[in-house]
Chains A and B, each alone.
Chain A
Amino acid sequence: MLGSRRPRALGAAAPEDDGDLFDDDFQRKLDVLALVSRRVASGRTRAERRSKKTGSGIEFADHREYAPGDDFRTLDWNVYQRTGRLLVRLFEEEEDLSVYVLLDQSRSMGVRMATARGTPGTSKLRYGKQLAAGLAYVALAGLDRVSVLSFSSQMEERLAPTRGKNRIFRVFDFLRPLRADGQTGLRDALRTFAAQNKRRGLAILISDLYDPAGFEEGIDQLRFAKFEPFVLHLVDPAEAEPRLHGDVRLVDTETGEARDLTVTPRLLQRYRAAHAAYRKRIADYCGEKHVPYHALPIDVPFDDAILGVLRRGGLVR
C-alpha cells in the first residue's frame, strides 16, 4: 500500500489511577444524590416502600432533615430544643430491604478505548465503581442493607451487608482496589452468588455483559433464585464507534483470541450494526423477562446516570 501509515491509538488495558476515584467532589455529588433520590422516592412511592420511613419500627436507626409531608409525630423535639433543627427520627423496620451491588471486574471492563483525540478514555470498571458507590450510598441513606460484590467468571470480592450512610467509606475502601482481571462468566458467578446469599433482595448487576457464553443464563440465575435483578449495562460509546482503519489485528482482551482484518468504512458500518443489535438483544431479553434494564453510556456523569435510573423507576420503590 502506498499510503502513509500513522500510528493509531489502540485500545488499552492499562490500569487507571484510582487515587481520585472517590474524592471530595465525588462525595458532594453523593450527598446531593441521596437528597434528591429521597425526594424522588417520597414523591413517587410514598407509603409503598418497605422502610423505616413509616415509623412503625422500634429500633432507632438515624436522623434526617424534616421534609414537608413527614409525620409530625416522628420529629425529635429533644434535638429541636438543643439545636433548633427539625430532624425526623428513623427506625429500623423488622424486615428491611437487602440491596446487592454486583460489579463486573473482568478484563473487558478495564479496556480503555481511544478517544477522538487519540488518548485512552475512561474504563467501564472505573465508571462502574463510581456507579456502584453512588447506588450504595443512595441505598445506605435509605437504611437498606447494602452489600457490594465483584465478579468475573466467579465471585471475586465481597463487602458484607451493612447499613447506615456513614458506612459508605467502607464501600469506597472496598471498591478502590478492584482491578480488571479474569474472563466474564455471568452464569457461574451469579449461580455462586445466589447460593451464597440466602437473603433475597434487589440485585443490581453492573456489567458490560460481554459474556461469550451469553448473558441470558447469568440473569436467569438471579431470577430463578428469587432475587430482583436490575441490569445496568455499561456501554462505552468508543466501543460502539471504534476509531479503527486499515489492516489491524484485533485481540480479545479476555481470551487473547486474535483476528486479522482490514477495517473499511463498510466494515465499521456493519460492526456498528452488530453492536446495536447486541444491545437490542439484551434490552429485548430483559423486557421479555420483566427485568429492569438500563443501558448507561460511560460518557454520561455517573450522578446524572443514577438520577436517570431513579427517575425512570424500577430501582427505587
Chain B
Amino acid sequence: MSFTGLGTLQVLGVLGGFGAGVVVLYLLKLRRRQVLVPFVPLWEAVLAEKQSTRLFAQLKRWLSLLIALAVVAALATALGDPRPDAALRDGRTLVVLLDASASMQATDGAEPDEAPRSRLDAAKARARLMVRELGPDDRMLVAQLDARATPLGPLSGEAKVLRDAIDAVRPVDVAADLRAGLRLALDVLRDQPGPELVLLSDGRLAAGLDLGELGQDAADAEAAPTEETEEDEAPPLLASDRLAGALRDRGVRLSWERLGREGDNVALGAFAVRRYPLDKSQSEVLVELINASDAPAEVELELLGDGQSVEVQALTLEGGARLRRFFRNVAGIDARLEARLRRTDGGGDVLPADDRAYAMLPPRRRARVLVVEPGLYLQAALLLDEYLEVTEVTQASYDPADEGSHDVVIYDGWVPLRPPAIPALYLYPTSDDPERGPFVVTGSVDAPYFDRLERQHPLLRFTALRDVNVAEALTVELRDGDRVLARDERGPPLLVAGRRNGQPYAAFLFDPDASDLPLRGAWPLLLLNAVDLFAQEGAGFVSSFRTGESWALPVPPSAAQVLVAGPGGERRVPVSEGRAVVAGERAGFHTIRAAAGADAGPTLTVAANLGASPESDVAPAPSLTVGELRAEAPSAGSDDVRQEPWAWRVLFALVVLAAEWLTYHRRVTV
C-alpha cells in the first residue's frame, strides 16, 4: 500500500494535529447547563444509584474519544489516497469485442453449476468482471461484433461508462465478421500503451481465418514503400500471416475468451415457399432441417400460415444430417408463413434462434397483361390463369402509352420500335428491320433442340423441354447481361432473359406456332412463370431476406424516411431512389411504413431468416489463430486494484459519525 496523494509525513502531520485537537477537546471539561429543579433530594436517590455505573460511563467517554480518533485517522489517511502496490503498474489499453452473432444466443453460456444463460450473457458477465479488474491507469473500449464492429462507448477507464456500453450490446441474427473487429482494434490501439485485443466469443466467426482483406488493409496502413517493393518481389505471404505481422508489429496482444460448451442443436437451414402458377390459392413449401449434433433427434415441425397452424409433422433427424422436406398443396396461407422446429425427445437444443424461419407469399392480385397480336395458342394459355387480366391489341392499335397501366407486355411475332417501359415477353421477335427489337437478328438455324437448360431459373420452373421439337430458331446478337436459359448444343439460344430499357425481358427465339411446344404442358407454364416473375419483380416482391445482408425495400416514392419495425424494435431508415436500404440484423417479420408526415402508403411486410447457416453449428471453436499468431487467454487483472481505499475510509468516517450522532441523540451513549 502506498500513498499517492499526500505524502506519509503529511498524513502523519494531519493525523497528529487533528488527533491532538480532538484529545484537547475531550480533556476540556464541558460547561454544563444549569437546570432549576424544585426538589434535588428526589435526584439524590437516583444519583446514589448512578455512582455504581460511573466506571462504565468513563469507559463510554474513552470509547467515544477512541471513535473520534479513528474518524480522524480514517480521514487523514484518505487524504493520502492510499493505493495497493498492484494498482501502480503501467496501464493497459483494451479493446473488448463482444461477439453478438446468432450463435452467441446459444443457451450454453453458463457453467454446469450455474443457472442457464446465453453465451452473450456470459460474455457480458466476463466483460463486467474485466471492468472490475481494471487498474487505475487501464482504459477499455467496448465494441459489439457482428457483421460490423460497432464501438459502444469511448476509450475510457470509467466503470460506469464501460458498464453502460456492455449493457448496450444486443444480440443480432448475423454472423460475426472478425475482420471488421480486427480493423477497429488496430485503429483504436494505434500508439496506445499496453495494447490488447480481447475477443469474447465462441469462435464461430463468418470470416474464419481467411483474413486476406484485413491483411491488405493492415499492410496499407502500416507498410513503408520499401516494404511494398519487397513484398512485390518476395513470394506472396498468406493474408493471415500479414495480419499477424501487423498485430505483432504494433505489440497488440491477441486474447480470446472461449465461451460456450459442446451442445446439441437442431435448426431450420432453408425455408422457401411459392404459389403454384395455375392455382395461386395453394403453395409449395421447402424446409431444410439440420441436426448439428451426432445423435439422432426426434423433432416436430410446424407450419403456421398467418398465425394459424396449417401443417404439423414429426420427423427423425439422423446425427449430422440435413433433411429436405417439401410440403405440397399447402392451402390457407394468405401472406405470412412461419416454420417452427421443436425437439420432442427431450434432447438439447441450445440455439433457439435457428428454430424458426419466416417467409412471405406474394400478394394474390391480378396481373395486368397487355398482349399484342396474340395467336390462338397464346390466348388459350393465358386463359388458364384466372389471376390474369389480359388486354389484347393489334399491331395497329398498339400504343406505348398503354404500357403504364399494365404489369407485363407480350409481343407475339412482332416487336415494337422501342423497348417498352415495363417487363416484356417476346415470342419470336422478328420484323422487317433486323435491328428492331431487343436483338439484332443475324439469321436462323433449323431444328434446334433444348440441349442446355438453366433449370434453376424461375422461368423454367416445373417445365420439361428436352424433347420439344422446334422447326426453326433465330440467331441473334446478344448483349452484355443477357442470359441464355436454353440453347441448342450447337450454340443458338432458344430462350433468353435480360434487361432492356431498365426493365426485365424474356424472349422465345423461335416461333411457338412452328413447334410442338403449345401442345405440351410446359407451354402455359413458361408463359405464366414469366408473367409471375415479371409481375413480382416489378412489385419488388422478395419472399424472404437474409440477415447480414442489405435489404433494398421498395417504398412510396414521396417518402423520405421509413420506419422499420421488427423483432429488434423500430428504427428510422432513409430512402434513396425509391428504396430503403436496411441492414438486416434480426430474423422475423418486419413491417415498413412511411415515417409520420410523409405519404404513408401501404405498409409493406417482409420476412427475414438467419443468414449464415454455419451459425447453426454451435460447437465453440477449439482455438483461434490469426496467421501464426495464436490467441491467448486475456491478461489477468486483480479484484482489489480497482478499489478506492480513500472512499472506503471516508465512508467509514461518515458511518461512524452517523452512528455516534444517532446514539448520542437517542441518549444511548450519554
Residue contact A242 to B37, C-beta cutoff 8 Å: yes
Question: Which residues of chain B come closer than 8 Å to A242, judged between CB atoms?
Answer: 37
Given known pairs A246-B670, A261-B43, A262-B670, the reply for A2 and B36 (CB within 8 Å) is no
Rounded to whole angstroms, the CA-CA distance of A278 and B43 in the bound complex is: 11
Assess whether B408 is interfacial by the CB under 8 Å rule.
no
Interchain CB contact under 8 A, A13 and B36: yes
Which A237-256 residues have a C-beta within 8 angstroms of B?
239, 242, 244-255
- Name the distance in Å between B344's Cβ and chain A's nearest Cβ: 71
State in angstroms the CA–CA spacing of A247 and B47 once bound together. 13
Q: Which of A39-47, A53-61, A72-80, A267-275 contacts B (4 or more CB under 8 A)?
A: A267-275
A271 touches B38 (CB 8 A): no
Which listed residue (B30, B37, B49, B661) contacts A11, Cβ 8 A?
B37
A10 x B664 contact (CB < 8 A):
no
Among B533-590, those with CB < 8 Å from A are: none
Q: Does B383 contact A (CB under 8 A)?
A: no
Report yes or no: A250 in contact with B30, Cβ–Cβ below 8 A: no
Answer whether residue B64 sits at the interface, using C-beta atoms and an 8 A cutoff. Answer: yes
Interface check B660, CB cutoff 8 A = yes
A249 near B667: Cβ-Cβ < 8 Å: no
Among B41, B50, B57: residue with most chain A CB under 10 A: B41
Q: Is A208 an interface residue (CB 8 A)?
A: yes
A253→B38 contact, CB < 8 A:
yes
Q: Measured between alpha carbons, how far is A8 from B667 in the docked complex, in Å?
A: 15
> Closest residue of chain B to A249, judged by CB?
B32
Contacts A264-B667, A271-B46, A274-B45 hold; do A208 and B38 have CB atoms under 8 A apart?
A: yes
In the complex the two chains form, is A259's CB within 8 Å of B44's CB? Answer: yes
Contacts of A8 in B (CB 8 A): 33, 35
Question: How many angstroms between the C-alpha atoms of A278 and B44 in the bound complex?
Answer: 13
- Which residues of B in the span 22-63 have a Cβ within 8 Å of any Cβ on A? 30, 32-47, 49-50, 57
B40 lies within 8 A of A270 (CB):
no
B46 lies within 8 A of A270 (CB): yes
Q: Which of A7, A12, A253 has the most CB of B within 10 A?
A: A253
Residues B42 and A275 in contact, CB atoms below 8 Å apart: yes
* Inter-subunit contact A259/B657 (CB<8 Å): no
For A17, what are the chain B residues with a Cβ–Cβ distance below 8 Å? none
Shortest Cβ distance from B657 into A: residue: A2
Which residue of B is nearest A264, CB measured? B667
Interface flags for A106-126 (1: CB within 8 Å of B; 0: not) read 001101000000000000000
- The minimal Cβ–Cβ distance linking B258 to chain A, given in whole angstroms, is 56
Known: A3-B660, A3-B664. A271 touches B34 (CB 8 A): no
A300: CB under 8 A from chain B? no
Q: Are the CB atoms of B664 and A251 closer together than 8 Å? A: no
Known: A264-B667, A267-B46, A270-B49. A111 touches B38 (CB 8 A): yes
Is B365 an interface residue when CB atoms closer than 8 A count as contact?
no
**Do B50 and A261 have beta carbons less than 8 Å apart?**
yes
The winner among B39, B42, B45, B46 for most chain A CB atoms within 10 A is B39
- Nearest CB in chain A: distance from B7 CB, A: 28
Q: Mark A1-31, 1 if CB is under 8 A from B, else 0.
A: 1111001101111000000000000000000
Q: How far is the CB of B404 from chain A (nearest CB, A)?
A: 90
Which A residues lie within 8 Å of B94 (CB)? none
Q: B619 an interface residue at 8 Å Cβ cutoff? A: no
Bound-state CA distance A124–B47 (Å) is: 26
A248 partner residues in chain B, CB cutoff 8 A:
32-35
A-side contacts of B57, CB under 8 Å: 262
Give the shortest distance, in Å, between B592 (CB) and chain A (any CB).
67
Of B47, B668, B670, most buried by chain A (CB within 10 Å of CB) is B670
| Residue B68 is within 8 A (CB to CB) of chain A in the complex | yes
| Closest Cβ–Cβ distance, residue B461 to chain A (whole Å) | 91
Closest B residue by C-beta to A2 = B660
Q: Is there an interface contact between B68 and A251, defined as CB atoms closer than 8 Å? A: no
For A210, give its contact among B33, B36, B38, B657 (CB under 8 Å).
B38
**Which residues of chain A have C-beta atoms less than 8 A from B35's C-beta?**
8, 10-11, 244, 248-251
- Is there an interface contact between B34 and A249, defined as CB atoms closer than 8 Å? yes
Most chain B beta-carbon neighbours within 10 Å: one of A2, A236, A248, A278: A2
Q: Which of B40, B41, B64, B660 has the most CB of A within 10 A?
A: B40
Query: Which residues of chain B come closer than 8 Å to A265, judged between CB atoms?
Result: 667-668
* B665 at the binding interface (Cβ < 8 Å): yes
How far is A258 from B32 in the complex, measured between Cα atoms in Å?
Answer: 11
Assess the A210–B661 pair: CB atoms within 8 A.
Answer: no
Within 8 A of A (CB), among B624-670: 657, 660-661, 664-665, 667-668, 670
The residues of B with any CB-CB pair to A shorter than 8 Å are: 30, 32-47, 49-50, 57, 64, 68, 657, 660-661, 664-665, 667-668, 670
A binding-site residues for B, Cβ under 8 Å: 1-4, 7-8, 10-13, 108-109, 111, 208, 210, 212, 236, 239, 242, 244-255, 257-265, 267, 270-271, 274-275, 278
Q: A2-B664, A210-B39, A251-B37 are in contact. List 10 more A-B contacts (CB 8 A).
A: A2-B660, A12-B36, A108-B38, A239-B39, A245-B667, A253-B38, A254-B39, A260-B32, A265-B667, A274-B46
21 contacts between A and B (CB under 8 A): A3-B670, A4-B661, A8-B33, A212-B41, A242-B37, A248-B32, A249-B33, A249-B34, A251-B36, A251-B40, A252-B40, A253-B36, A261-B43, A262-B670, A264-B667, A264-B670, A267-B46, A270-B46, A271-B43, A274-B43, A275-B42
